[in-house]
Amino acid sequence: QKHCPSPELLHPPWHSVAAMLLRPRSNTENLRRFVEVFCRAAGNENDSTLVRDLRYAEEELRRGDIDGAIVEVMCEILAKMMVSVTLERFADRKAPWALVYSLATFPKYQADNLCREAQALHLRRLAPLLSSQEAADAAWQVLFYAAWGEQNARDWEGAQGSALTLSHYGYQKDLMECRDTVAKNLPCVGLDA
């Protein structure tokens, strides 16, 4: 009689295979996920799924060896940037009612002020927490283009019905460029040891 290996050796239980395949995410990957979910959740605070995803992404980021102050400052910067890009895009609207609103509330001016405040937070509070000036510059690129990427994603989703103007193609192109810029700069933030 031939000796046959036990079925457990040929086919280990599924949970041991999964354990072999799961590796903790890097700090860079956790930062990417957190920034993406934070931007998506901004303005959608009533969506319980996004709120839960944001809480989980923040917990994962904090579970790494990242200074909590970095996470807090990034939250403040992203919050300002999301309002800024929304106002900036609204200021570009050409509809008559939007022009009247723009003349009354100056959304472009408000957007520029919020962006300057976010830049000041970056320079004054975030940059000193990072390892180098290159890391600080990369962090600004990640936060700035993540906010614009989310705004372009929202506008792209909203413009799907505009087959006549084809404006959705411009939003999609801008979205992809923003995502590429974020992906290129994420590793340079230097959060992985």
Per-residue pLDDT at 88: 83
Per-residue pLDDT at 100: 54
pTM, two decimals, is: 0.78
Biggest CA pair distance of the chain: 91
Half-sphere exposure of 54 (CA within 13 A, CB side): 20
Q: Cβ neighbours of residue 178 under 8 Å, at least 6 residues apart?
A: 145, 146, 148, 149, 152
Residue environment code for 15-27, b if the CB has 16+ CB neighbours within 10 A, otherwise e: eeeeeeeeeeeeb
Sign of CA dihedral 40, 42, 47, 50: positive
Phi–psi pair at 132, nearest 5 degrees: -160, 170
What's the rounded Cα separation, in Å, for the pair 7 and 184?
Answer: 46
Q: Please list the pLDDT of the chain residue by residue as tens digits (193 residues).
A: 445 555 555 555 555 555 556 677 889 999 999 999 999 999 889 999 999 999 999 999 988 888 889 999 999 999 999 999 888 876 565 555 555 555 556 667 788 899 999 999 999 999 999 989 999 999 999 999 999 899 888 888 776 665 556 666 677 788 889 999 999 999 999 888 6
Alpha carbon distances (Å) from 163 to 56, 166, 170, 171:
38, 5, 12, 13
What's the rounded Cα separation, in Å, for the pair 35 and 70?
Answer: 12
